[in-house]
Structure 1
Amino acid sequence: TVRRKKPCLIGNQTFMSLPVMTGKDIKVWFPIKQGFFRRTVDNVKAVDGIDVTVRAGQTLGVVGESGSGKTTLGLALARMISSTGMIQFNGRDINQLSFNAMRPLRRELQIVFQDPFGSLSPRMSIAEIIEEGLKIHEPKLSPDERDDKVAAVLKEVGLDPATRNRYPHEFSGGQRQRVAIARAMVLNPRFVMLDEPTSALDMSVQAQVVDLLRSLQAKHDLAYLFISHDLKVIRALANDVIVMRNGRIVEAGPSQQIFENPQTDYTRALISAAFKIETAPVGIVSE
């Protein structure tokens, strides 16, 4: 069972936390070239003029069918691929920054990918994987200090620090995803892009990972961009949701509004395909 994310409250009043990541008119177009001179004859509009805001301590869920542009949007916001439009991180315009200028910000912009086994080097121990970012962003740390940070973050994500010298193949899928989360968390990020982080896991492990992500978010006031085709997980974790199709937003709003009163046929079709479930009044979702 998974409980739905509640809005932030002060007393009886909801409040809007500060924006961490803001995108305005984000476009990622891939040119289609033809002919001997390779002239651009058209563009694949993977992301076509999207506005997003991801706030501290909250989750923006991004849903849509395969090829809708979900992951491309996330990679653009994290400056992993080129895009046009305005991208602000902590109030600073970052879309025109060079690679070197972005480097100090990388520790605050972390990504957790779908396949925990594919994203972890099989030749590196868990400790080596997690401390890799520390060597880049905190080069003055001693080996003992790095090891202390690795042990602390493993404990925080629910893994035994004594296992840190083992290798990825010695862990289950759920444990490997916790390692991937630890690798991101050890750098104390403000924004985390989560790209289908639970899709490779069975339902019981999914619920555990969602609970972990929620706990880490509450503790560290993290802004999550949560990309998934699994609408049950999105409903459990997201405060707000955008629905994408063919690179554009077809619907956006608070999670409760999107799931209980969808305004477009496309959103209704996605929900009806995903939710062959009963929802208890207290918000516990069960099959």
Structure 2
Amino acid sequence: MGRYVARRLLQMIPVFIGSTFLIFSMMYALPGDPVRALAGEQSRDPAIIEALRHDLGLDQPLLVQYWNYLTNLIQGDFGTEIASKRPIAEIIADAFPVTIRLTLFAFAFTVLVGIGLGVIAGLRPNSVRDKGLLTLTLVLISMPSFVLGYLMQYIFAFQFQLVTPTVTDSENFGDLFLPAIVLGSLSLAYVARLTRTSMAENLRADYMRTAVAKGLPRRRIVGIHLMRNSLVPVVTFLGTDIGNLMTGAIVTEGIFNVKGVGLAIYEALFRREGATVVGIASLIVLVYLLASLLVDLLYAVLDPRIRYA
């Protein structure tokens, strides 16, 4: 197990470097100049602009800029925004906890409701509740998140006035309840369908017939034998879905005015602050990689046949 974890951690290094370099290159290729944007519509001496670019290292080749950024990042220095002169680490420290809080809320909603609906439908394949789940998940999958967000906002905030239309306090879970539901709805649909399909397939497996023939209680058959084997593909999806929820939170945060990484990325893209975008993206990449490692380790817990040499 220890060797496997060490090998996976070493494999994360080239993946992280490749991902951040790709994002850095995309920001480098964007049109515009953040230094010229500081002047706005006012004209400045080109010599002054070139001097500022030189001081910030923006006149260097792409590989040199990325190497400087990566070496600083290893030391914990995310850089400084050009326009606001504010450390990027401070911006991330303010925005990232908000998105993490929203993502965890949405993830908990996805796990509890999604797996619950999938179990209810999977135990009775082709029944009325199974067809009802199919209809519900098809609606959620086919509806874009921004459409669902505005629809939920209109119904629950403006019509029934059960919640506020926008988030006024990002630390209040009550304010984050509706955005979390919108954010987790698409993932909920996939989790429910995946759980239902996996359980319906495992119900016909030989080990299930053996457990029934041995006279085991139904609670043990479903809770131990059926659930543990059926949740392996679900856990795989949920592991990668954490990162998807964080990136999907950008749209949801814009609808409900949540001041998380979505707003920070939007403002950084508008001002062409590439270091801010790459810094936030780097943390999201790390979340993806660590979640993937955790999922692989959970396989051995769900299925005792899996062993890591």
Point out the structure with max Rg over C-alpha: 2
Structure (1 or 2) with the greater helix fraction = 2
Indicate whether the TM-score tops 0.5: no
Q: TM-score, normalised by structure 2?
A: 0.25
Q: TM-score, normalised by structure 1?
A: 0.26
Structure (1 or 2) with the greater strand fraction = 1
